[in-house]
Amino acid sequence: MSSLNLDDFTDLIERPDGGVRRDAEARRERQIVPPGSLGRLDDLGEWLSAAQSAVPVRPIERPRVVLFAGDHGVAELGVSAGPAGGAHQLVREVLEGGRPVSVLARRLGVPVRIVDMALDCDPDTLPAEVVRHRVRRGSGRIDLEDALTLEEAEAAFRAGVAVADEEADSGTDLVVLGDVSVGGTTPAGVLIAALCGTDASVVTGRGGLAIDDLAWMRKCAAIRDALRRARPVLGDQLQLLATVGGADLAAITGFLLQSAVRKMPVILDGVVTAACALVAQRIAFRAPDWWLAAHDSGEPGQAKALDRMALEPLLSHGVTVGEGAGALLALPLVQAAAALSAELPEKPQASGVPEKDEPGDESAEDVDTKEETA
């Protein structure tokens, strides 16, 4: 039996400040560019104001990419174009600056943090700050066995909560969230199918490296078999993550919930983060108000999850590589929305037009005149 009470998040998570959002909308109506003429940038600026409880909105000055990493036993079935157990190589390439997310982060001046939760490699081969939260070496093969024990799932979830606290305490004002995994889109598909009550074929995509038709059929079968194991534990979200998730997915779920508790906005990347967000929404229904969907990755499971959470992607560039790259592409858009909201001047007040008196603002002279007339 877990000692973690997930119901606490329902009480701890508040929505972004609605009153502040109304103030931001009113300020937007006074600016020189007509309301609505900036499209979604208007909504983004107002959302940021509400999240920050600030009008005008503050600029996004300390964003950070946070990537949770892990290997998945189900990759042994050939459901991914990457080699089973090969996520550690992707992590090294990110650290060495050779992955798309590394290039984008370097160009945008955003630091990247990688958190190893279940990589299938010797921890001594990676920096200590990467591996210090690791729960186990690889997650179980979910079509046949649990991904984690309940204790491991709780440890991974708590690690995600701790990472969120570390980021909030360090002054991070927005997180670009992603994953580095091999086989991770398969448990993501299981979670989405289970929580949306749909079939495996509806959520099975081709992953970040575009698997062929045979691999897609193997992946669909794996999701179908894992879905049978998921349905009996749908009422217990931690047990669900233990049964058909993985250490990285459990950590991302904890991270998302604690980020909402700490009022730290998050940009979601692809189908893995969307699946974890769906689990987190099941735990605390107000949590999605703190998240943005960065882009449409083309994964059917992601589209299903985002639709269920009423999150509309900001971009649609067909980026499937994962690792936070698509989410990082959306960051300049969010920063632009903040700048426009804060820096556009207000319309000058028309000269020669007296301000309208508010009720009850009559001067003593006006009152005397009225009394004499009477």
Catalogue the active-site residues.
323
What are the residues facing 267 on neighbouring strands?
A: 176, 292
Length of the chain: 374
**Nearest CA-CA partner of 209 in 110, 20, 25, 75:** 75
Q: Quote the CA–CA distance of 374 and 97 in Å, as a whole number.
A: 84
Q: Is there a contact between 270 and 325 (Cβ–Cβ < 8 Å)?
A: no
Structure tokens at 243: 């049964």
Q: Which pair of tokens denotes residue 28?
A: 């937007």
d(CA 236, CA 110) in angstroms, rounded, equals 36
> Angle, nearest 10°, between helix axes 247-261 and 271-283?
60
Continuous segment of H or E residues that includes residue 335: helix 325-343
How far is it, in rounded angstroms, from Cα 341 to Cα 41?
8
Here the tokens at position 173 are 């004002």
